[in-house]
A and B are shown apart, each in its own frame.
Chain A
Amino acid sequence: MSLGLLLPMGLLALAALAVPLLIHLIRRNTREPVEFAALRWLRERPRPRQRLRFDEWLLLAVRLLLIALLAVLLARPVLRGHPDMRPWWVLVPGVPASALPADLPSDARVHWLAPGFPEFAADAAAPTATASPSSLLRELDARLPAGVALTVLVPTVLDGVDAQRPHLSRPVDWRVVEAAVPPARPASALPPTVIALRHPAGCDAACASALRPLQAAAAALAQPPAVQVDVGPATQALPAGTSELWWLGDPPLPASVESWVRAGGTVLVAGANAPFVPAAADAASTVAWADAAGQPLIEARRLGQGRWLRFTRPLQPALFPQLLDADFPHQLQRALQAPPAPPARVLASDHAPLAGAPGYPQPPRDLSHWLIALIASLFVLERWLASGRRSGVAA
């Protein structure tokens, strides 16, 4: 435990100590004459030159102390060390309150593993705000001083964890409690209900050669009544419930179609000659389907709330050999669906954290509040002393 200063240059304010010393020097007070009837027995003597005399020692001392403390306050004093070594017990939301042992140490601090680490109260409900348990464990590990014992009570299944076991700086007592398994999160993407395929009205030979594999893929994916396919010329309106639009054509998309995409639709554009890019789409493109060599086959961009995908090469078998693969429709479908959420559920017994990571330095405790209280009380004392003695030099 040691005192320290965060801003030692603040001590330069100690130069102001000279001010009360100057004020309290005894000086010739020739402004106020004193009536003295026995003047004839007074004789002037030379002033003493070698000694400086000060008036009102106690008030001078209080003022000097006040200025010194203000200079120290400016230098931001802190107290290092002196950590709070009480053990911590943490419960993951979902663990029942009865899981706490009866012989809990009296000075143990019990909290929930939730953002802000609210205190555990036996009769209060569990906090509703949730965050990744791995992230919360790392935060707790960084916040607690080294050497504080940490016990974590977890349910059988943990949700929302990282892909690897947490690496903390202290050993953790990991206790698995039998608890109800929370329901899994809903599946990220439902299979499409209607796939719409649109081609230019007047289809020439090149267009027909590109249309054929797409029609075949759409037919392969059709599973009425769950998945339906709607093929038609470009002018045909999109059926209700369309989740995917395969667009074959050159000119820019009609405004109705573009607004449908912005509202949350997915469009796969297959331009016969030159694939085009709408200007309003995101500049960043992600690869939705890459071949074995890593070259992108379908690029995806976000447009509003929807996705806009395009083939990077013309739909010709010579340039696009994957057209002839048997699982081409399913690859297409996989590319068109939004990427699924990474898996985050794990058995708690398999996810116990590891120790051995380097520790974190603890912030020192700020002493400014105590110092301000002390300075305020000293100021009151100084004002009381200064107003009480009128005979001295009260500044």
Chain B
Amino acid sequence: MADELIPPQVRSRLRELRLTARRAAGRHGVGLHHSPSRGAGLEFAQYRAYEPGDELRQIDWKLYARSDRFFVREAERESPLTLWLLVDCSASMRQREPGSGQTRLQAACALAACLAQLALQQGDRFGLIGLAESGLQLVPAGTGTRQRDRLWLGLQGLQAEGGFPAPERLAPVWERVAPRDLVVLLGDFFDEQALVLAERLAAARREVIALPLLTSEERDFPFRGGQRFDDPETGEQLAGDGVAMRADYLARFDAARQALAARLDASGIRHATHVLDEPLDLPLRRLFGAHGAAEYA
């Protein structure tokens, strides 16, 4: 029952990936990541010259005997990372992929489950915040398989309706997500507000990763013939001939995606677009896998 969110082929490929944070996240406890807190620790890292103010007991006296100069021994200590999964639950996440019938929200939940699996493998803490207009769905961060089950239960309960929550409603996000936590934002990023939240989080020293999700129809616009298009979020309707509108749409949509990428890069946010007809772990490989392994099927 717990295996339904992640497809079986993807599970085996997840073991090759590592969740990495670009900035070191120092915290108490034992984890995989580099910590800035140096000093007496578990592993030897390097020697550095003595500076007035260092602790005398950190001086390596054997090396002083050999070299007649004072060197301080530095060590590393592993410390855990907290992963926060922010899933956009607005109405635009209802969009279905024509081939598989999967909605964008279902794909986002599958990606969130994959990321949680990576964190679990590494012993990191992970939590969930569902960004729904009616109220944020929160699963507090924790470790272990029981936390994973709690997370999956939270993911199952997410519904795509309404718009993006107003900034006033986002207070729990700022309370829970501490500096140096890794935040992964999953959504379509059609709305300005999701991008603003990501930029603010990145400016507030949280490490942000954006995963925009698109359907193949939005990427290709395969409609031929007269159609009436409905926007699920705003309720706007537009009738027109598919073939005539295609070139214009593709140009504007492409420009919008490039503008989004530019703004994300400007804020230092890593991003990888996921289209719903591609394999689920492809964006994760681009972000976390070894170089060149991202394009493997």
Contact = CB atoms under 8 A, between A and B. Distances in A.
B95 A36 contact: yes
Contact of A33 (B233, B237, B245, B249): B237
A82 interface: no
B249 A35 contact: no
Interface in A18-48: 26-30, 32-48
A259 B159 CA distance: 109
Interface centre among A26, A38, A55 (most CB of B within 10 A): A38
B244 A30 contact: no
B236 to A, nearest CB: 6
B227 A38 contact: no
Contacts of A36: 95, 217-218, 229-231
Interface residues of A, number: 24
B244 A35 contact: no
Given A34-B223, A38-B249, A43-B248, 20 more contacts: A28-B241, A29-B226, A30-B228, A30-B239, A33-B230, A34-B228, A35-B229, A36-B218, A37-B231, A39-B236, A39-B238, A41-B252, A41-B253, A42-B240, A42-B249, A43-B245, A45-B245, A46-B244, A48-B244, A55-B225
User: Chain B interface secondary structure, helix, strand, loop or mixed?
Assistant: mixed
A45 B241 contact: yes
Contacts, number: 98
B241 A47 contact: yes
A286 B189 CA distance: 115
Contact of B229 (A28, A39, A47, A53): A39
B106 interface: no
Contacts of B240: 42, 44-45
B165 interface: no
B39 interface: no
A35 B230 contact: yes
A30 B237 CA distance: 11
B224 A26 contact: yes
A35 B256 contact: no
A27 B223 contact: no
B31 to A, nearest CB: 38
Interface centre among A27, A34, A35 (most CB of B within 10 A): A35
A38 B251 CA distance: 13
A35 B94 contact: yes
B188 A37 contact: yes
B249 A41 contact: yes
Contact of B256 (A41, A44, A45): A41
A48 B95 contact: no
B117 interface: no
Interface in A45-80: 45-48, 53, 55
Nearest to A48: B244
Nearest to A38: B218
Nearest to A30: B228
B232 interface: yes
Contact of B225 (A26, A38, A42): A26
B212 to A, nearest CB: 12
Contacts of B228: 29-30, 32-34
